[in-house]
Amino acid sequence: MPTARKLSAPAPSSVSLPGLIAFESVARHLNFTRAATEMEITPTAISRTIKLLEASMRVRLFHRTTRSVSLTEAGTQLLQTLAPALDQIRRSVQEVGDASGAARGQLRINTSYVAYATLIQPHLRAFLEQYPELAVEISVEHGLSDIVAGGFDAGIRLGRALQKDMIAVPLGPPQRLLVVGAPAYIKARGKPKRPDQLLQHDCIRQRIGNRGQFLPWEFRAGNEPLTIDIQGRLVFSEMRTVLEAACDGNGLAFVFEHFAQRALADGLVIPLLETFTRPREPFYLYYPNRAQMPGKLRAFLQFFQDKGRAAA
């Protein structure tokens, strides 16, 4: 008797990498038009690519209606394994390109306003002139942001505010917080001689962090740390508005010395209790832990580190 043949489903034909890339883009956006824009092709072309991919895999990957796009169970399963693989490929390609050390492309930095005004703003024009092939996007935010989720190359914050699992490099000199007040306010209310005398003054407070805590007024009495629970009717969420209010004579402020340098030089405010304050931590540039630092980020770090050393 002739041997019976075992019947099985035909094997899928070969799947192209461009088809998988198109699928991941549509799955991420759940929108054919936005995916087509990202890939710089027409919506018709990306729709045709997805149909060819589904045909080659012999499975439906998307539910499509005139109003919405959603993943099928098979599409969800494919995305779960495909997205990390494509991300690794993109990072590998980027690292190879960045390894050349060329400072080109777009550099995205997330920073506080104080760090921007103190470290970056005075030298930004010179940096752009030195690296004409580099475009810089600076996002100024009050709170600490997730730079990976936000697509930033690096962030700049004080050391104690850094995210975990980040590489941190000092940027600029150690920072010192000073009590400052306008000459008119000091003439009317007197000059405090000791930190505890701040309790007799109107002090301008600042909220910091996502939990709304107040910036502590911390001093040193000899070798002993001292924190004063200051009081005041004015509260701001940014140091620049704290300093402006102090310049206007609304009370005493506790601000970074380098940040207040121009106001101090112009005599808008006067430093107080200097012998009770000392330099503390510097600002840090922090970025994701990876084997190869991009050339554009290396150029930024080296340039502003050099400026920071010159200012120290």
Band of residue 279 on the pLDDT scale cut at 50, 70, 90: confident
Antiparallel, parallel or unpaired: β 154-158 and 224-228: unpaired
Q: Domains in the chain: how many in total? A: 3
pLDDT of residue 106: 92
- For the cut 60, the answer to whether the pLDDT of residue 63 exceeds it is yes
Higher-confidence residue: 69 or 12?
69
Both 183 and 263 in a single domain?
Answer: yes
Task: Tell me the per-residue pLDDT of 91-129, one tens digit each, with 9 for 90 and over.
Answer: 776 666 554 567 888 999 999 999 999 999 999 999 999
Average pLDDT over residues 233-249: 95
Q: Which two tokens stand for residue 51?
A: 């149909």
Rounded alpha-carbon distances, angstroms, from residue 96 to 92, 151, 153: 6, 19, 16
Both 37 and 111 in a single domain?
Answer: no
pLDDT of residue 206: 94
Higher-confidence residue: 68 or 203?
203
pLDDT of residue 246: 97
Band of residue 201 on the pLDDT scale cut at 50, 70, 90: very high
Smallest CA-to-CA distance from 147 within 289, 25, 282 is with: 289
The domain boundary residue, chosen from 96, 111, 144: 96
Q: Which two tokens stand for residue 288?
A: 């994701």
Do the beta carbons of residue 281 and residue 160 sit within 8 Å?
yes
Report the CATH number at residue 182.
3.40.190.290
pTM, entire model? 0.62
Both 286 and 166 in a single domain?
Answer: yes
pLDDT of residue 308: 78
Q: Which two tokens stand for residue 117?
A: 């005004």
Both 138 and 186 in a single domain?
Answer: no
pLDDT of residue 7: 41
Antiparallel, parallel or unpaired: β 105-111 and 134-140: parallel
Rounded alpha-carbon distances, angstroms, from residue 267 to 185, 241, 246: 13, 17, 12
Higher-confidence residue: 245 or 291?
245
Both 181 and 236 in a single domain?
Answer: yes
Both 181 and 255 in a single domain?
Answer: yes
Both 85 and 160 in a single domain?
Answer: no
Smallest CA-to-CA distance from 225 within 216, 233, 236, 234 is with: 216
Higher-confidence residue: 142 or 217?
217
The helix (H) or strand (E) run that includes residue 129 is helix 124-130
* % of the chain with per-residue pLDDT over 90: 53
pLDDT of residue 160: 59
pLDDT of residue 235: 94
Task: Lay out the sheet containing 205-208: strands in order across.
Answer: 213-214, 205-208, 235-236
Report the CATH number at residue 44.
1.10.10.10
pLDDT of residue 123: 94
- For the cut 90, the answer to whether the pLDDT of residue 13 exceeds it is no
pLDDT of residue 86: 85
Both 227 and 79 in a single domain?
Answer: no
CA 109 to chain centre: 5
Q: Is residue 10 part of a domain?
A: no
- For the cut 70, the answer to whether the pLDDT of residue 8 exceeds it is no
Average pLDDT over residues 160-178: 80
Domain that holds residue 225: 177-276
- For the cut 90, the answer to whether the pLDDT of residue 307 exceeds it is no
Both 118 and 201 in a single domain?
Answer: no
Higher-confidence residue: 4 or 63?
63
Both 184 and 225 in a single domain?
Answer: yes
Positions of E strands within 73-215? 105-111, 134-140, 154-158, 166-171, 177-181, 205-208, 213-214
C-alpha span between 204 and 134 (Å, rounded): 40
pLDDT of residue 34: 87
- For the cut 50, the answer to whether the pLDDT of residue 233 exceeds it is yes
Higher-confidence residue: 61 or 147?
61
Sign of CA dihedral 192, 195, 198, 203: positive
pLDDT of residue 117: 92
Both 119 and 142 in a single domain?
Answer: yes
C-alpha span between 136 and 299 (Å, rounded): 12
